[in-house]
Amino acid sequence: MTDTPRIVAVPGSLRDESYTRTALVYALRAAEHAGADAELLDLREYDLPLYDPDLDEPGDSELVKRKTREADGLILGSPTYHNSYSAAFRNVHDYWSYDEFEETVTGLLTVAGGSSYGSTLDHMRITIRGVHGWVLPHQVGIPNVYDQFEADADAPDGRAFVDDDLQDRVEKLGRLVTEHAESDPVVSGSEAAADD
Protein backbone atom coordinates (compact mmCIF):
# COMPACT_ATOMS: atom_id res chain seq x y z
CA MET A 1 0.00 0.00 0.00
CA THR A 2 1.16 3.56 -0.71
CA ASP A 3 1.30 6.27 1.96
CA THR A 4 -2.12 7.43 0.77
CA PRO A 5 -4.74 4.69 1.23
CA ARG A 6 -7.07 4.16 -1.70
CA ILE A 7 -10.70 3.84 -0.59
CA VAL A 8 -13.39 2.71 -3.03
CA ALA A 9 -17.13 2.88 -2.32
CA VAL A 10 -19.63 0.76 -4.25
CA PRO A 11 -23.35 1.57 -4.06
CA GLY A 12 -25.55 -1.42 -4.85
CA SER A 13 -28.23 0.83 -6.30
CA LEU A 14 -28.95 1.81 -9.89
CA ARG A 15 -31.46 4.58 -9.11
CA ASP A 16 -30.64 8.05 -10.43
CA GLU A 17 -31.66 9.56 -7.08
CA SER A 18 -30.09 6.84 -4.94
CA TYR A 19 -29.96 7.52 -1.21
CA THR A 20 -27.37 4.75 -0.89
CA ARG A 21 -25.07 6.60 -3.26
CA THR A 22 -25.65 9.91 -1.44
CA ALA A 23 -24.73 8.37 1.91
CA LEU A 24 -21.59 6.80 0.42
CA VAL A 25 -20.56 10.18 -0.99
CA TYR A 26 -20.58 11.50 2.60
CA ALA A 27 -18.51 8.54 3.76
CA LEU A 28 -16.01 9.08 0.93
CA ARG A 29 -15.74 12.78 1.73
CA ALA A 30 -14.84 11.86 5.31
CA ALA A 31 -12.30 9.33 4.00
CA GLU A 32 -10.69 12.08 1.90
CA HIS A 33 -10.55 14.39 4.93
CA ALA A 34 -8.81 11.53 6.79
CA GLY A 35 -6.13 11.42 4.07
CA ALA A 36 -7.46 8.88 1.58
CA ASP A 37 -7.62 8.88 -2.18
CA ALA A 38 -11.35 8.14 -2.56
CA GLU A 39 -13.37 6.90 -5.52
CA LEU A 40 -17.06 6.12 -6.04
CA LEU A 41 -17.48 3.05 -8.23
CA ASP A 42 -20.93 3.82 -9.59
CA LEU A 43 -22.31 0.61 -11.12
CA ARG A 44 -24.51 2.61 -13.51
CA GLU A 45 -21.35 3.61 -15.38
CA TYR A 46 -20.21 0.05 -16.11
CA ASP A 47 -21.42 -2.74 -18.36
CA LEU A 48 -21.86 -5.49 -15.81
CA PRO A 49 -24.12 -8.24 -17.21
CA LEU A 50 -25.95 -10.66 -14.97
CA TYR A 51 -23.22 -12.92 -13.61
CA ASP A 52 -22.75 -16.13 -15.60
CA PRO A 53 -19.80 -18.30 -14.52
CA ASP A 54 -19.54 -19.73 -18.04
CA LEU A 55 -18.64 -16.31 -19.46
CA ASP A 56 -15.03 -15.19 -19.19
CA GLU A 57 -14.79 -11.52 -18.13
CA PRO A 58 -17.90 -10.14 -19.88
CA GLY A 59 -18.41 -6.39 -20.28
CA ASP A 60 -16.53 -4.26 -17.75
CA SER A 61 -16.32 -7.02 -15.13
CA GLU A 62 -12.52 -7.18 -15.16
CA LEU A 63 -12.27 -3.39 -14.73
CA VAL A 64 -14.70 -3.46 -11.80
CA LYS A 65 -12.80 -6.33 -10.20
CA ARG A 66 -9.45 -4.57 -10.71
CA LYS A 67 -10.67 -1.34 -9.12
CA THR A 68 -11.97 -3.32 -6.15
CA ARG A 69 -8.82 -5.44 -5.89
CA GLU A 70 -6.52 -2.40 -5.90
CA ALA A 71 -8.37 -0.68 -3.06
CA ASP A 72 -6.84 -0.59 0.42
CA GLY A 73 -10.30 -0.21 1.90
CA LEU A 74 -13.87 -0.60 0.68
CA ILE A 75 -17.17 0.94 1.69
CA LEU A 76 -20.11 -1.06 0.40
CA GLY A 77 -23.71 0.09 0.40
CA SER A 78 -27.05 -1.34 -0.55
CA PRO A 79 -30.69 -0.41 -0.25
CA THR A 80 -32.78 -2.85 1.74
CA TYR A 81 -35.02 -4.88 -0.54
CA HIS A 82 -37.21 -7.56 1.07
CA ASN A 83 -35.01 -7.65 4.21
CA SER A 84 -31.81 -8.19 2.22
CA TYR A 85 -29.52 -6.45 -0.25
CA SER A 86 -30.37 -5.44 -3.79
CA ALA A 87 -29.96 -7.43 -7.00
CA ALA A 88 -27.37 -4.90 -8.19
CA PHE A 89 -25.28 -5.54 -5.06
CA ARG A 90 -25.69 -9.31 -5.43
CA ASN A 91 -24.63 -9.18 -9.06
CA VAL A 92 -21.39 -7.27 -8.50
CA HIS A 93 -20.72 -9.41 -5.42
CA ASP A 94 -20.99 -12.55 -7.59
CA TYR A 95 -18.10 -11.23 -9.69
CA TRP A 96 -15.96 -10.63 -6.58
CA SER A 97 -13.87 -13.39 -5.05
CA TYR A 98 -11.01 -13.82 -2.58
CA ASP A 99 -8.70 -11.95 -4.95
CA GLU A 100 -10.68 -8.74 -4.51
CA PHE A 101 -11.24 -8.98 -0.75
CA GLU A 102 -8.44 -10.96 0.90
CA GLU A 103 -7.77 -9.07 4.14
CA THR A 104 -9.27 -5.85 2.77
CA VAL A 105 -10.85 -3.56 5.36
CA THR A 106 -14.53 -3.17 4.51
CA GLY A 107 -17.22 -0.89 5.91
CA LEU A 108 -20.93 -1.59 5.40
CA LEU A 109 -23.91 0.72 4.97
CA THR A 110 -27.55 0.15 4.10
CA VAL A 111 -30.61 2.35 3.71
CA ALA A 112 -34.22 1.34 4.24
CA GLY A 113 -37.57 2.84 3.38
CA GLY A 114 -38.87 1.63 6.75
CA SER A 115 -37.27 0.88 10.09
CA SER A 116 -35.92 -2.62 9.38
CA TYR A 117 -32.40 -2.92 7.96
CA GLY A 118 -30.53 -5.25 10.33
CA SER A 119 -30.81 -8.39 8.23
CA THR A 120 -29.39 -6.56 5.20
CA LEU A 121 -26.25 -5.68 7.15
CA ASP A 122 -26.06 -9.26 8.45
CA HIS A 123 -26.27 -10.67 4.91
CA MET A 124 -23.66 -8.23 3.62
CA ARG A 125 -21.29 -9.01 6.50
CA ILE A 126 -21.65 -12.79 6.13
CA THR A 127 -21.07 -12.79 2.39
CA ILE A 128 -18.13 -10.37 2.50
CA ARG A 129 -16.54 -12.50 5.22
CA GLY A 130 -17.11 -15.43 2.85
CA VAL A 131 -14.55 -13.89 0.48
CA HIS A 132 -12.20 -13.03 3.39
CA GLY A 133 -13.03 -9.35 3.63
CA TRP A 134 -12.21 -7.80 7.01
CA VAL A 135 -15.51 -6.20 8.02
CA LEU A 136 -15.44 -3.36 10.55
CA PRO A 137 -17.71 -3.67 13.59
CA HIS A 138 -18.94 -0.12 12.97
CA GLN A 139 -21.68 -0.29 10.36
CA VAL A 140 -24.46 2.08 9.38
CA GLY A 141 -28.14 1.50 8.81
CA ILE A 142 -30.27 4.45 7.74
CA PRO A 143 -33.96 3.86 8.50
CA ASN A 144 -36.86 5.79 6.98
CA VAL A 145 -34.42 7.12 4.42
CA TYR A 146 -36.97 9.27 2.57
CA ASP A 147 -37.12 11.50 5.65
CA GLN A 148 -33.37 11.64 6.34
CA PHE A 149 -32.25 14.06 3.60
CA GLU A 150 -33.27 17.46 2.30
CA ALA A 151 -32.33 19.20 -0.92
CA ASP A 152 -29.26 21.42 -0.54
CA ALA A 153 -27.28 22.54 -3.57
CA ASP A 154 -24.17 23.07 -1.42
CA ALA A 155 -24.25 19.61 0.17
CA PRO A 156 -22.52 16.50 -1.19
CA ASP A 157 -24.61 14.95 -3.97
CA GLY A 158 -27.07 17.85 -3.60
CA ARG A 159 -28.64 16.50 -0.41
CA ALA A 160 -28.02 17.29 3.25
CA PHE A 161 -28.63 15.03 6.23
CA VAL A 162 -31.50 16.14 8.46
CA ASP A 163 -30.05 14.28 11.48
CA ASP A 164 -26.54 15.38 12.50
CA ASP A 165 -25.97 12.21 14.54
CA LEU A 166 -26.73 10.04 11.53
CA GLN A 167 -24.38 12.09 9.38
CA ASP A 168 -21.68 11.65 12.03
CA ARG A 169 -22.15 7.85 11.94
CA VAL A 170 -21.79 7.79 8.14
CA GLU A 171 -18.71 10.00 8.22
CA LYS A 172 -17.21 7.91 11.01
CA LEU A 173 -17.50 4.89 8.70
CA GLY A 174 -15.38 6.67 6.09
CA ARG A 175 -12.78 7.69 8.67
CA LEU A 176 -12.55 4.23 10.22
CA VAL A 177 -12.11 2.47 6.88
CA THR A 178 -9.30 4.92 6.08
CA GLU A 179 -7.60 4.48 9.46
CA HIS A 180 -7.79 0.68 9.37
CA ALA A 181 -6.75 0.44 5.72
CA GLU A 182 -3.24 1.04 7.01
CA SER A 183 -3.39 -1.90 9.43
CA ASP A 184 -2.51 -5.50 8.69
CA PRO A 185 -5.58 -7.49 9.73
CA VAL A 186 -5.11 -11.07 10.84
CA VAL A 187 -8.13 -12.99 9.62
CA SER A 188 -7.16 -16.65 9.77
CA GLY A 189 -6.59 -18.89 12.76
CA SER A 190 -3.21 -20.18 11.55
CA GLU A 191 -1.78 -16.65 11.33
CA ALA A 192 -3.13 -15.78 14.76
CA ALA A 193 -1.60 -18.92 16.26
CA ALA A 194 1.77 -18.14 14.66
CA ASP A 195 1.86 -14.79 16.48
CA ASP A 196 1.52 -16.41 19.94
Give the HSE-up count for residue 25: Cα atoms under 13 Å, Cβ half-sphere: 14
| pLDDT by residue, tens only, the chain of 196 residues | 458 999 999 999 999 999 999 999 999 999 999 999 999 999 999 999 999 999 999 999 999 999 999 999 999 999 999 999 999 999 999 999 999 998 899 999 999 999 889 999 999 999 999 999 999 999 999 999 999 999 999 998 999 999 999 999 999 999 999 999 977 665 555 554 445 4
Model confidence pTM above 0.95: no
Beta-strand (E) ranges in the chain? 6-11, 37-40, 73-79, 105-111, 134-135, 140-142, 149-151, 159-161
Q: Which residue pairs from 125-132 have beta carbons closer than 8 angstroms and sit at least 24 positions apart in sequence? A: 127/93, 128/76, 128/101, 131/96, 131/97, 131/98, 131/100, 131/101, 131/102, 132/98, 132/101, 132/102, 132/103, 132/187
